[in-house]
Structure 1
Amino acid sequence: MPEGGAVSHALPMTARSARAAASLQRALLLALLALVACLFSPRAQADTCTASMTPITFPAVNPILGAAVAGQGTLTVSCDFTSALAIGALVCVNLGAGANGQQDPRLMSNAGSAVRLQYRLSQNSNMSPVWGTVTSGQPIQLTFIRPLLGGQPPAQSVTIYGQVLPNQFTVPTVNNATTTYTEAFSGNATLNYLFYTVTLANCSSVPLVRTVPFTVSAPVTNNCTISTSQNMVFDGAGTRSLLNSPIDASATLAVRCTNNDAYRIRLDGGRYGTVAQRYMQRTGGTQRIPYALYTNSTRTTLWGDGTGGTNFFTATGTGNIQTVTVYGRVPAQPAPVPGSYSDTVTATIEF
């Protein structure tokens, strides 16, 4: 070895060790790319969201009143963050057409009726926009943010408002009893959610994850209304001195009963007689003249309360106003004291 010199020894790189180094570099590069992909793309691995919906049960619906009926339920959603990278979650709850196949308005049904009960659901009490999907109506959209100090974000509850639409006068009951109309949502209500790390997605790009089953129902009740649309006036009976021939007249009642609901109308005996023998009394006096009320135009069936040989008037409601005619007759009789004769009869509808 030369004096003052340095000795060096080169270690040659073999082909085998070079390949190992290249493989290590590729592995590190792939790991880096995977990390970047995780940081800048949504995640839905072990992170989960769940939802539940209470049944929506409307109070009694009285179709002949024509009024809207309000009800509500509660949608509850919670999200659990288990991955290390997700910072938030977008949840979209879509509601498609239910079991009766229509979305706006939605329809409740009963097996005994071909008529449907129309209603709407919305996140807002003014019923706009209606709860639907990204293509029809509007889904319910919620955002969950991962707490900075750890743990899970609180569950979120949304009030779902329902409205049975007004002016559905002809919705029927079945078998003369309160009838429950329903619609079920099984695969029609869907929970779509997406966990994200950087950018927030929108509902149109959030995938379906699970369904949120629930039901909507409303009891439809029977009801009737009755009023006098025309009083009975026997023309000439109170002004002429002779009643030597019968005098006929009629009055009309306006009746509205729930569609398919059987009803009957009874008449009392008035102020001065009975259902079998009615009287009108002279104003300012005590003199009376007999008369009768009938259910038919031939005046052969006495109308009363089912006693004393009288009958009820019976029919079935349609949901619309029905005109019921009361037929009257003053029989031929000896000449009464001149004056104005009258009576007041009360009609009662039973259903």
Structure 2
Amino acid sequence: MPAFMVAVLYLYPSVAPAQSTTCSATTTGVSFGTYDPFASAPLDSTGSVSVTCSASTSYIVALSAGQGSFASRTMSSGAHLLAYNLYTDTLRTTVWGDGSGSTTTVPGSGTSASYTVYGRVPALQNAYVGAYSDSIIVTVSF
């Protein structure tokens, strides 16, 4: 039974500056590891977004769609695609996006907090052997 390697999903911070308060974000990518196209269960993994602000403030954390759409993000290996998505909850029911469509953002407040990014690659995809990846931009608005 062949297995397919899935590369790390990279999360890149992008911060929108405000008046006297500054905030920064650091990320840990979602690494799915090896994907087995014959497995009946989806492949789940997590990453994180950490926000640090110079003063206590309210903010919103949004994620871009990457190469695909919010309905179905895609990782690529050359011309080959593998569907996945990112969620705000452990059950993986609420898509983490920019608030458009049926996506949600994550609100926060204070001077520092860390948020888990829940990733899922659906089962039984007809994937080619290769290293798949996508890049997501993390935006903190305050």
Global fold match (TM > 0.5):
yes
Does 2:20 match 1:227?
Answer: no
Provide the residue aligned with 1:304 in structure 2.
97
Counting only pairs closer than 5 Å after superposition, residues 278-293 of structure 1 correspond to structure 2 as 278-282=73-77, 285-293=78-86
Query: Secondary structure, in 3 states, of the residue corresponding to 1:307?
Result: coil
The structural deviation recorded for 1:258 is 4.2
Q: Distance in 1 between matches of 2:91 and 2:55?
A: 28
Tell me the amino acid that sits aligned with residue 22 of structure 2.
N
TM-superposition CA deviations, 1:267-301 (whole Å, max 9, x none)? 1111x21223200011xx21111101011122121
Percent identity over the alignment is 35
The structure with more strand, counted as a fraction of residues: 2
The answer as to whether partners of 1:259 and 1:316 remain within 8 angstroms in 2 is no
Tell me the amino acid that sits aligned with residue 29 of structure 2.
N
Q: Distance in 2 between matches of 1:296 and 1:274?
A: 19
Tell me the amino acid that sits aligned with residue 41 of structure 2.
S
Query: Secondary structure, in 3 states, of the residue corresponding to 1:234?
Result: strand
Query: Secondary structure, in 3 states, of the residue corresponding to 2:70?
Result: coil
Q: Distance in 1 between matches of 2:122 and 2:91?
A: 14
The answer as to whether partners of 1:279 and 1:291 remain within 8 angstroms in 2 is yes
Unaligned runs of 5+ residues in structure 2 are 1-17
Counting only pairs closer than 5 Å after superposition, residues 3-14 of structure 1 correspond to structure 2 as none
The answer as to whether partners of 1:267 and 1:275 remain within 8 angstroms in 2 is no
Q: Distance in 2 between matches of 1:241 and 1:334?
A: 6
The answer as to whether partners of 1:266 and 1:347 remain within 8 angstroms in 2 is yes
Higher RCO by CA contacts (8 Å cutoff, separation 6 or greater): 2
Provide the residue aligned with 2:44 in structure 1.
248
Q: Distance in 1 between matches of 2:39 and 2:127?
A: 8
The answer as to whether partners of 1:245 and 1:331 remain within 8 angstroms in 2 is yes
The answer as to whether partners of 1:301 and 1:311 remain within 8 angstroms in 2 is yes
- CA change 1:243–1:280 in 2 (3 A) is farther
The answer as to whether partners of 2:23 and 2:52 remain within 8 angstroms in 1 is yes
Does 2:115 match 1:324?
Answer: yes
TM-superposition CA deviations, 1:108-157 (whole Å, max 9, x none)? xxxxxxxxxxxxxxxxxxxxxxxxxxxxxxxxxxxxxxxxxxxxxxxxxx
The structural deviation recorded for 1:243 is 4.4
CA RMSD of aligned residues (A): 1.8
Q: Distance in 2 between matches of 1:281 and 1:243?
A: 20
Q: Distance in 1 between matches of 2:50 and 2:116?
A: 9
Q: Distance in 1 between matches of 2:39 and 2:128?
A: 11
Tell me the matched-pair count.
Answer: 125
Could you tell me the TM-score, scaled by structure 1's length?
A: 0.34
Tell me the amino acid that sits aligned with residue 242 of structure 1.
F
The structure with more helix, counted as a fraction of residues: 1
The structural deviation recorded for 1:241 is 4.3
The structural deviation recorded for 1:324 is 1.5
Does 2:139 match 1:348?
Answer: yes
Q: Distance in 2 between matches of 1:338 and 1:244?
A: 18
Counting only pairs closer than 5 Å after superposition, residues 61-72 of structure 1 correspond to structure 2 as none
Counting only pairs closer than 5 Å after superposition, residues 160-199 of structure 1 correspond to structure 2 as none
Unaligned runs of 5+ residues in structure 1 are 1-176, 179-220
